[in-house]
Amino acid sequence: MNNEIGIYVHIPFCLSKCYYCDFASYSDMEQLIEPYINAVCNEILKNSEILSQYTITSIYIGGGTPSYIDAKYIKQILDTLMLFTSKEYLDEVTIELNPNSVTKEKMKIYKNAGVNRLSIGLQSTHNNILKTIGRAHKIEDFENALKIANDLSFDNISLDLIYPLPNLTLEEFKDTVDYAISLKDNNIKHISIYNLEIHENTKLAFLLNEGYVSIVDEDTEYEMYKYLKDTLSLNEFNRYEISNYAIKGYESKHNLKYWNQEQYLGFGSSAASFFGGKRYTNIKDIKEYIKRISNNKTLYDEYEELDLLSLMKEYIMLSLRKIEGLNKNKFKRKYQKDVYDIFKEEINELKKMGLLEEKKEYIKLTQRGLEVANLVWEKFI
């Protein structure tokens, strides 16, 4: 088999903008959907030469809201990618879903087109909280989406949750975690729990600044963290990355490529790639992206060619995001250097601070290190 590669495809359309969201996602742009999808397929075909030299083993269709657009477009994208791979090589094909835009017809099309993993944005189980953060769905929509997924035998489903959300209490958060765990028998095999990021210029930042909503204090947030971490692991959801928990064998193969510093290509506006030691990100503006494709112009607006030292530092940071940590032997195989020959000072200092520990061939974050990972990254930036 050729070298493996992962593919990310960005769908930047949403029904409405959630108050906390800073992703490249837009509402009221329906007229651009068709030209955009054609442009994405064009971008894939323009990469034929590279794609035919690699084996695509994972595809991730993210957004935005991929389930918002007509499912025929998802099929069009997957059919285009299938020109360069085949189902037997594809370990994982994920699509992100918003509970309110899931229908049986769409899901049947996804399944026939090769999707084998669903990632559903639940965020919270409480309708009052969902309303407070501007989500366009209710818990009932999620239940309906999950039933459709189960009826169609999707057996690898991930949930997205966020904490602490505005006006969310500790008790409500515990309910959400308990509910997510209770869905293990309904094929929920993976849970991503993100710590809320408050971005400037979002409606959430405004609501917080003006005092319309509030967020629990740090101590309560810590209680939430402890509850989710302990309860999930007691219930077979093993933490394998800072924000990700999975039943054994259901860790995301595509996302592991990111944390293992493996190659991936991103297609679509704002999509990021890591290829040939370079990181680049496509232009965010949808109209400009479509225009550049048809004019055969360069698509990226961010481009970085990493030198050896930067690649090694990045590899350490990405590896430490995984709970197992950095495998010293793998580092040596990848870079022909002993990690201690280059980063002895940084690693020893972080060990002294109680943020890193060593177990057999692994260097990993301690429990404290997992809580203050930013202090660790600072040493390698």
Interface contacts to ligand SAM, rule CB under 6 A: 20-23, 62-65, 96, 98, 121, 123, 160, 162, 194, 196-197, 199
- Is 369 a binding residue for ligand SF4 by CB under 6 A? The answer is no
Of the candidates 9, 25, 51, 265, which one interacts with ligand SF4 according to CB under 6 A?
25
Provide the minimum distance between the beta carbon of 68 and ligand SF4 in the complex, in angstroms, as a whole number.
8
CA angle in degrees (0–180, nearest 5) for 375-376-381: 95
Q: In this chain, which stretch among 20-28, 199-207, 240-248, 338-346 interacts with ligand SF4, using CB under 6 A? A: 20-28
Which amino acid is located at 51 in the chain?
A: L
Name the minimum Å distance from CB 16 to ligand SF4: 7
Q: What are phi and psi of 293, to 5 degrees?
A: -65, -50
Q: Are 339 and 332 in contact (CB under 8 A)?
A: yes
**Judged by CB, which is closer to ligand SAM: 20, or 280?**
20
Which residues ranging from 41 to 100 are in contact with ligand SF4 (CB under 6 A)?
A: 63-65, 98
What secondary structure does DSSP assign to 313-378, as a single string? HHHHHHHHHBTT-EEHHHHHHHHSS-HHHHHHHHHHHHHHTTSEEEETTEEEE-HHHHHTHHHHHH
Q: Is 256 exposed, middle or buried (0-12, 13-18, 19+ CB in 10 A)?
A: middle
Decide which of ligand SF4, ligand SAM, none touches 197; Cβ closer than 5 to 8 Å per partner kind: ligand SAM
Contact 266, 272 (CB under 8 A): yes
CB of residue 95 vs ligand SAM: minimum separation in angstroms? 10
CB nearer to ligand SF4: pick between 14 and 312: 14
Tell me how many helices (H) and strands (E) the chain has: 16, 15
- Three-state SS at 27: coil
The item of ligand SAM, ligand SF4, none sharing an interface with residue 160, based on CB under 5 to 8 Å by kind, is ligand SAM
Distant-in-sequence, close-in-space partners of 202: CB < 8 Å, separation ≥ 6: 19, 20, 21, 22
Alpha carbon distances (Å) from 310 to 49, 275, 314, 318: 28, 15, 6, 12
Residue 17, contacted partner among ligand SF4, ligand SAM, none, CB below 5-8 A by kind: ligand SF4
Q: Candidates 17-25, 49-57, 262-270, 285-293: pick the segment binding ligand SF4 (CB under 6 A).
A: 17-25
d(CA 327, CA 250): 21
5, 7, 9, 14: residue in contact with ligand SF4 (rule CB under 6 A): 14
Residue of this chain nearest to ligand SAM (CB atom)? 121
Q: Which residue, 63 or 369, is less far from ligand SF4 as judged by CB?
A: 63
Residues that bind ligand SF4 (CB under 6 A): 14, 17-18, 21, 23, 25, 63-65, 98, 121
